[in-house]
Protein backbone atom coordinates (compact mmCIF):
# COMPACT_ATOMS: atom_id res chain seq x y z
CA UNK A 1 0.00 0.00 0.00
CA UNK A 2 2.98 2.33 0.50
CA UNK A 3 3.72 4.64 3.40
CA UNK A 4 0.94 6.81 4.81
CA UNK A 5 1.19 10.36 3.49
CA UNK A 6 0.93 13.25 5.97
CA UNK A 7 -2.08 14.62 4.09
CA UNK A 8 -3.78 11.23 4.24
CA UNK A 9 -3.49 11.36 8.00
CA UNK A 10 -5.13 14.81 7.99
CA UNK A 11 -7.98 13.58 5.79
CA UNK A 12 -8.65 10.62 8.09
CA UNK A 13 -8.51 12.89 11.15
CA UNK A 14 -11.10 15.19 9.57
CA UNK A 15 -13.42 12.25 8.88
CA UNK A 16 -13.16 11.37 12.57
CA UNK A 17 -13.97 14.94 13.64
CA UNK A 18 -17.06 14.86 11.42
CA UNK A 19 -18.40 11.60 12.80
CA UNK A 20 -22.16 11.79 13.39
CA UNK A 21 -22.94 14.83 11.21
CA UNK A 22 -25.70 14.81 8.59
CA UNK A 23 -24.64 17.69 6.33
CA UNK A 24 -21.13 19.02 5.77
CA UNK A 25 -20.41 22.20 3.82
CA UNK A 26 -16.96 22.86 2.37
CA UNK A 27 -15.49 25.97 0.78
CA UNK A 28 -14.31 26.15 -2.82
CA UNK A 29 -10.59 25.98 -2.02
CA UNK A 30 -10.51 23.25 0.61
CA UNK A 31 -9.43 19.92 -0.94
CA UNK A 32 -8.31 18.28 2.31
CA UNK A 33 -11.53 19.07 4.23
CA UNK A 34 -13.52 17.97 1.16
CA UNK A 35 -11.63 14.68 1.07
CA UNK A 36 -12.32 14.18 4.78
CA UNK A 37 -16.04 14.72 4.19
CA UNK A 38 -16.02 12.34 1.24
CA UNK A 39 -14.26 9.72 3.33
CA UNK A 40 -16.89 10.12 6.07
CA UNK A 41 -19.64 9.58 3.47
CA UNK A 42 -17.92 6.49 2.08
CA UNK A 43 -17.44 5.02 5.56
CA UNK A 44 -21.07 5.72 6.47
CA UNK A 45 -22.31 3.94 3.33
CA UNK A 46 -19.98 1.01 3.95
CA UNK A 47 -21.11 0.63 7.54
CA UNK A 48 -24.83 1.15 6.90
CA UNK A 49 -25.00 4.44 8.80
CA UNK A 50 -27.31 7.37 7.93
CA UNK A 51 -26.53 9.14 4.67
CA UNK A 52 -24.10 12.06 4.82
CA UNK A 53 -24.77 15.05 2.56
CA UNK A 54 -21.79 17.05 1.30
CA UNK A 55 -22.03 20.53 -0.23
CA UNK A 56 -18.82 21.76 -1.85
CA UNK A 57 -19.01 25.30 -3.19
CA UNK A 58 -17.79 25.40 -6.76
CA UNK A 59 -18.46 21.71 -7.42
CA UNK A 60 -20.98 20.59 -10.04
CA UNK A 61 -21.31 17.07 -8.71
CA UNK A 62 -21.13 17.63 -4.95
CA UNK A 63 -23.24 20.77 -4.56
CA UNK A 64 -27.03 21.03 -4.54
CA UNK A 65 -26.97 24.83 -4.13
CA UNK A 66 -27.98 26.78 -7.25
CA UNK A 67 -27.33 30.27 -5.94
CA UNK A 68 -23.93 29.84 -4.35
CA UNK A 69 -23.21 31.28 -0.94
CA UNK A 70 -26.66 32.87 -0.48
CA UNK A 71 -28.22 29.43 -0.16
CA UNK A 72 -25.35 28.25 2.02
CA UNK A 73 -26.03 31.06 4.48
CA UNK A 74 -29.78 30.40 4.45
CA UNK A 75 -29.22 26.70 5.03
CA UNK A 76 -26.80 27.37 7.89
CA UNK A 77 -29.14 29.87 9.52
CA UNK A 78 -31.94 27.31 9.43
CA UNK A 79 -29.77 24.80 11.28
CA UNK A 80 -29.41 22.49 8.28
CA UNK A 81 -25.62 22.48 8.14
CA UNK A 82 -23.88 20.56 10.90
CA UNK A 83 -20.24 21.22 10.10
CA UNK A 84 -18.09 23.71 8.23
CA UNK A 85 -14.38 24.56 7.97
CA UNK A 86 -12.65 27.85 8.62
CA UNK A 87 -9.03 28.88 8.45
CA UNK A 88 -7.24 32.19 8.72
CA UNK A 89 -4.06 34.09 8.11
CA UNK A 90 -3.91 34.26 11.90
CA UNK A 91 -5.60 32.17 14.60
CA UNK A 92 -5.13 32.88 18.30
CA UNK A 93 -5.52 30.95 21.53
CA UNK A 94 -9.17 31.97 21.96
CA UNK A 95 -10.02 30.64 18.49
CA UNK A 96 -10.40 34.13 16.98
CA UNK A 97 -9.55 34.13 13.29
CA UNK A 98 -8.15 36.89 11.08
CA UNK A 99 -8.86 36.85 7.36
CA UNK A 100 -8.21 40.57 6.72
CA UNK A 101 -4.48 41.18 7.16
CA UNK A 102 -1.64 41.94 9.53
CA UNK A 103 -0.98 45.23 11.28
CA UNK A 104 -3.44 48.01 12.05
CA UNK A 105 -6.66 48.10 10.05
CA UNK A 106 -7.34 49.62 7.54
CA UNK A 107 -3.71 50.26 6.58
CA UNK A 108 -2.62 46.64 6.77
CA UNK A 109 0.82 46.06 5.25
CA UNK A 110 -0.33 42.53 4.39
CA UNK A 111 -3.89 42.03 3.09
CA UNK A 112 -5.79 38.77 2.72
CA UNK A 113 -9.02 38.08 0.78
CA UNK A 114 -11.34 39.27 3.57
CA UNK A 115 -13.78 37.94 6.14
CA UNK A 116 -16.65 37.13 3.74
CA UNK A 117 -19.26 35.11 5.73
CA UNK A 118 -16.89 33.70 8.32
CA UNK A 119 -18.38 35.53 11.32
CA UNK A 120 -21.92 34.49 10.42
CA UNK A 121 -21.06 30.83 9.84
CA UNK A 122 -18.93 30.73 13.01
CA UNK A 123 -22.03 31.69 14.98
CA UNK A 124 -24.60 29.37 13.41
CA UNK A 125 -22.82 26.14 12.41
CA UNK A 126 -22.56 23.83 15.45
CA UNK A 127 -19.32 22.09 14.53
CA UNK A 128 -16.76 24.44 13.00
CA UNK A 129 -13.40 22.81 12.41
CA UNK A 130 -10.46 25.18 12.14
CA UNK A 131 -8.00 23.85 9.59
CA UNK A 132 -4.63 25.21 8.55
CA UNK A 133 -1.78 23.08 7.22
CA UNK A 134 0.91 25.61 8.01
CA UNK A 135 1.72 25.47 11.71
CA UNK A 136 4.07 28.36 12.51
CA UNK A 137 4.15 31.26 15.00
CA UNK A 138 3.13 33.68 12.24
CA UNK A 139 -0.18 31.83 11.85
CA UNK A 140 -0.85 30.78 15.44
CA UNK A 141 -0.41 34.02 17.32
CA UNK A 142 -1.07 35.17 20.88
CA UNK A 143 -3.68 37.65 19.66
CA UNK A 144 -4.92 38.23 16.12
CA UNK A 145 -4.39 41.68 14.61
CA UNK A 146 -7.98 41.81 13.39
CA UNK A 147 -10.94 39.70 14.50
CA UNK A 148 -12.76 38.52 11.39
CA UNK A 149 -14.74 36.03 13.45
CA UNK A 150 -14.62 35.63 17.25
CA UNK A 151 -14.07 32.20 18.75
CA UNK A 152 -16.36 32.81 21.72
CA UNK A 153 -19.12 35.21 22.78
CA UNK A 154 -20.19 36.81 26.03
CA UNK A 155 -22.92 35.27 28.17
CA UNK A 156 -26.41 35.97 26.87
CA UNK A 157 -25.40 35.95 23.20
CA UNK A 158 -27.37 33.37 21.24
CA UNK A 159 -24.74 31.30 19.51
CA UNK A 160 -25.41 27.68 18.56
CA UNK A 161 -22.19 27.55 16.53
CA UNK A 162 -18.50 27.80 17.27
CA UNK A 163 -15.11 26.13 17.19
CA UNK A 164 -14.98 22.38 17.70
CA UNK A 165 -11.36 21.53 16.92
CA UNK A 166 -8.17 22.75 15.28
CA UNK A 167 -6.21 20.53 12.92
CA UNK A 168 -2.78 21.39 11.52
CA UNK A 169 0.15 19.64 9.88
CA UNK A 170 1.60 19.00 13.34
CA UNK A 171 -1.27 18.21 15.68
CA UNK A 172 -4.93 18.00 16.61
CA UNK A 173 -6.46 20.29 19.26
CA UNK A 174 -9.92 20.40 20.83
CA UNK A 175 -11.41 23.69 22.04
CA UNK A 176 -12.93 24.34 25.47
CA UNK A 177 -15.53 27.08 25.00
CA UNK A 178 -15.94 27.63 28.75
CA UNK A 179 -12.22 28.13 29.38
CA UNK A 180 -11.60 29.71 25.96
CA UNK A 181 -8.53 27.58 25.42
CA UNK A 182 -7.25 24.90 23.10
CA UNK A 183 -6.21 21.49 24.38
CA UNK A 184 -3.66 19.37 22.54
CA UNK A 185 -5.25 15.99 21.87
CA UNK A 186 -2.67 14.29 19.67
CA UNK A 187 0.59 14.94 17.86
CA UNK A 188 1.11 13.56 14.37
CA UNK A 189 3.77 10.85 14.00
CA UNK A 190 7.24 12.28 13.42
CA UNK A 191 6.55 15.38 15.54
CA UNK A 192 6.73 16.19 19.26
CA UNK A 193 5.05 18.30 21.93
CA UNK A 194 8.16 20.47 22.05
CA UNK A 195 7.92 21.10 18.30
CA UNK A 196 4.22 21.98 18.54
CA UNK A 197 4.89 24.34 21.47
CA UNK A 198 7.72 26.10 19.64
CA UNK A 199 5.53 26.58 16.55
CA UNK A 200 2.54 27.97 18.46
CA UNK A 201 2.35 31.59 19.60
CA UNK A 202 -0.30 30.92 22.25
CA UNK A 203 -0.39 28.64 25.28
CA UNK A 204 -2.57 25.54 25.33
CA UNK A 205 -3.42 22.73 27.70
CA UNK A 206 -2.12 19.19 27.38
CA UNK A 207 -1.45 16.06 29.40
CA UNK A 208 2.09 15.16 30.32
CA UNK A 209 1.98 12.38 27.74
CA UNK A 210 0.12 13.22 24.53
CA UNK A 211 -0.76 10.33 22.20
CA UNK A 212 0.24 10.14 18.58
CA UNK A 213 -2.45 10.73 16.00
CA UNK A 214 -3.49 7.20 14.99
CA UNK A 215 -2.80 5.77 11.57
CA UNK A 216 -5.78 4.76 9.45
CA UNK A 217 -6.58 1.06 9.20
CA UNK A 218 -5.98 -0.67 5.82
CA UNK A 219 -9.69 -0.69 4.86
CA UNK A 220 -10.04 3.06 5.47
CA UNK A 221 -6.83 3.73 3.58
CA UNK A 222 -8.10 1.69 0.65
CA UNK A 223 -11.31 3.74 0.54
CA UNK A 224 -9.32 6.96 0.64
CA UNK A 225 -6.93 5.94 -2.12
CA UNK A 226 -9.68 4.52 -4.28
CA UNK A 227 -13.19 5.94 -4.18
CA UNK A 228 -12.37 9.20 -2.38
CA UNK A 229 -9.45 10.14 -4.61
CA UNK A 230 -11.60 9.46 -7.68
CA UNK A 231 -14.46 11.63 -6.34
CA UNK A 232 -12.05 14.38 -5.40
CA UNK A 233 -10.76 14.70 -8.96
CA UNK A 234 -14.02 16.29 -10.19
CA UNK A 235 -13.67 19.37 -7.99
CA UNK A 236 -9.95 19.42 -7.22
CA UNK A 237 -8.19 17.79 -10.20
CA UNK A 238 -4.76 19.26 -9.51
CA UNK A 239 -4.79 18.20 -5.87
CA UNK A 240 -6.01 14.70 -6.78
CA UNK A 241 -3.25 14.30 -9.38
CA UNK A 242 -0.65 15.51 -6.89
CA UNK A 243 -1.87 13.01 -4.27
CA UNK A 244 -1.80 10.19 -6.81
CA UNK A 245 1.76 11.09 -7.82
CA UNK A 246 2.87 11.14 -4.17
CA UNK A 247 1.30 7.73 -3.64
CA UNK A 248 3.12 6.31 -6.65
CA UNK A 249 6.38 7.73 -5.35
CA UNK A 250 5.71 6.30 -1.89
CA UNK A 251 4.93 2.85 -3.31
CA UNK A 252 8.10 2.89 -5.41
CA UNK A 253 10.35 3.93 -2.50
Q: Work out the number of other CB atoms within 10 angstroms of the CB of residue 82.
A: 18
Question: Could you tell me if 173 and 184 are in contact, meaning their C-beta atoms sit under 8 angstroms apart?
Answer: yes
pLDDT, tens digit, for every residue of 23-70?
999 988 899 999 999 999 999 999 999 999 999 887 777 777 767 678
φ, ψ at 98 (rounded to 5°): -125, 115
| 224/36 Cα distance (integer angstroms) | 9
Q: pLDDT averaged over the chain?
A: 94
Q: How confident is the model at residue 58, as a pLDDT?
A: 74
Query: Quick one: which H or E segment has residue 76?
Result: helix 69-77
Q: How confident is the model at residue 148, as a pLDDT?
A: 97
| 143/94 Cα distance (integer angstroms) | 8
Could you tell me if residue 114 is left (phi over 0), alpha (psi between -120 and 50 degrees) or otherwise beta? left
| 110/100 Cα distance (integer angstroms) | 8
Q: How confident is the model at residue 251, as a pLDDT?
A: 80
pLDDT, tens digit, for every residue of 231-247?
999 889 999 999 999 99
For the chain, the distance separating the N- and C-terminal CA atoms, rounded to the nearest angstrom, is 11
Which domains, ranges and CATH numbers included, belong to the chain? 6-252 (3.40.1080.10)
Instruction: Give the residue among 151, 81, 72 at the shortest CA–CA distance from 117.
Output: 72
pLDDT, tens digit, for every residue of 57-74?
877 777 777 676 788 899
Instruction: Cis check for the bond before 39: say yes or no (omega within 30 of 0).
Output: no
What would the mean pLDDT of 161-186 be, rounded to a whole number? 97
Q: How confident is the model at residue 51, as a pLDDT?
A: 94
- Chain centre distance of CA 104: 27
* Whether the predicted pLDDT of 77 surpasses 80: yes
**E runs forming strands in 57-103:** 83-86, 90-92, 97-98, 101-102
- Chain centre distance of CA 12: 11
Split at pLDDT 50, 70, 90, the class of 1 is: low
Question: Could you tell me if 39 and 21 are in contact, meaning their C-beta atoms sit under 8 angstroms apart?
Answer: no
pLDDT, tens digit, for every residue of 100-150?
999 998 889 999 989 989 999 999 999 999 999 999 999 999 999 999 999
Q: How confident is the model at residue 60, as a pLDDT?
A: 76
Paired sense of beta strands 163-168 and 171-176, if any: antiparallel
Alpha-carbon dihedral angle through residues 223, 4, 214, 62, given to the nearest 10 degrees: -40
Q: Which residues are CB-neighbours of 155 under 8 A, at least 6 positions away?
A: none
Instruction: Give the residue among 49, 29, 37, 44 at the shortest CA–CA distance from 11.
Output: 37
Instruction: Give the residue among 214, 215, 196, 195 at the shortest CA–CA distance from 204.
Output: 196
- pTM for the structure as a whole: 0.95
Q: How confident is the model at residue 229, as a pLDDT?
A: 96
Between these two residues, 170 and 113, which has the higher pLDDT value? 170
Amino acid sequence: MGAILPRERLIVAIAGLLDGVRHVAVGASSPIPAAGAMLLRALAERDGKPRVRISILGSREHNFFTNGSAELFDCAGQGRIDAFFLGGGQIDGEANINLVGTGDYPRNPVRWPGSFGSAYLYFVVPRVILFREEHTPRVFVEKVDFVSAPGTSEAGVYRPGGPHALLTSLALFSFDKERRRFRLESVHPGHSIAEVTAATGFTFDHDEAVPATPDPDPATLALLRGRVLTELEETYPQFARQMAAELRGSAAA
